[in-house]
Amino acid sequence: MIFTVAIDGPAAAGKGTIGRAVAARFGFAHLDTGLLYRAVGAKGGDPVLAARGLVPADLARDDLRTLVAGQAASRVAAIPEVRAALVDFQRRFARAKGGAVLDGRDIGTVICPEAEVKLYVTASAEVRAHRRWLEVGGDVSVVLAEVKERDARDMGRTDAPLRPAIDAVMIDTSAMSVDEAVAQAVALVAAKLGEME
């Protein structure tokens, strides 16, 4: 069976947590597409060559979850040639047999507009900055400024800007527990799978 769940949203909204939980619940493969861009940014050098030469081992680096890697990812993701180099990889992953969950910023709009389920996971900038601060520490006001800067860059880029797909279901996790957010996503996927039987 080919079944794609596309999850988009800004940094620290909870899309990765939801994506992993949905994949585990239904036995689907999971791809955090942000890791592709983080890996390209972390490799350094020419980002286009880094994207074209990306190998699975690059996604296993232990420095990909840092704020520095996140900022680098946002910068290289704005380069059209980098995005093009990674699109095919993501599309093949999404439409492989067995089902797939992809989370990122342009999955439902660009990578998999034909996805069976599209979710847009969001939360207020303040809530997301607090979550990120709990992960990485530092000065909370600096983390909030970085979150807002990243949002502006991701939403303002010309190529595949961050925005919800027209047919995406919005999940605002600002006041939700992880369990509540996951339950809402699981229910949406289960309903769609039920319609297809």
- pLDDT tens digits along 138-151: 899 999 999 999 89
Domain chopping of the chain, boundaries: 4-175
Which residues lie closer than 8 Å to 10 by C-beta, 6 or more apart? 105, 122, 123, 128, 147, 150, 151, 154, 162
Binding residues: 9-17
Any idea which of 17-31, 79-93, 114-128 has the lowest mean pLDDT? 79-93
Identify whether the C-beta of residue 135 lies closer than 8 Å to the C-beta of residue 17.
no
Reading the block at residue 175, the tokens are 């006041």
Q: What angle do CA 77, 81, 87 make, to 5 degrees?
A: 70
Sequence ranges of the binding site for ATP: 9-17
Cα-Cα-Cα-Cα dihedral of 152, 114, 64, 158, to 10°? -30
* Average pLDDT score over the chain: 92
Instruction: Confirm or reject CATH 3.40.50.300 for domain 4-175, answering yes or no.
Output: yes
E runs forming strands in 50-158: 100-104, 117-122
In whole angstroms, what is the distance from residue 115 CA to residue 119 CA? Answer: 10
**Is the model's pLDDT at 111 over the cut of 80?**
yes
Question: Would you state the pLDDT for residue 83?
Answer: 87
pLDDT digits (tens, 9 = 90+) for 165-178: 999 999 999 999 99
pLDDT tens digit sequence for 44-78: 899 999 999 888 788 888 899 887 888 888 889 88
More confident residue, 18 or 83: 18
Q: What is the mean pLDDT of residues 156-167?
A: 89
Full-model pTM = 0.86
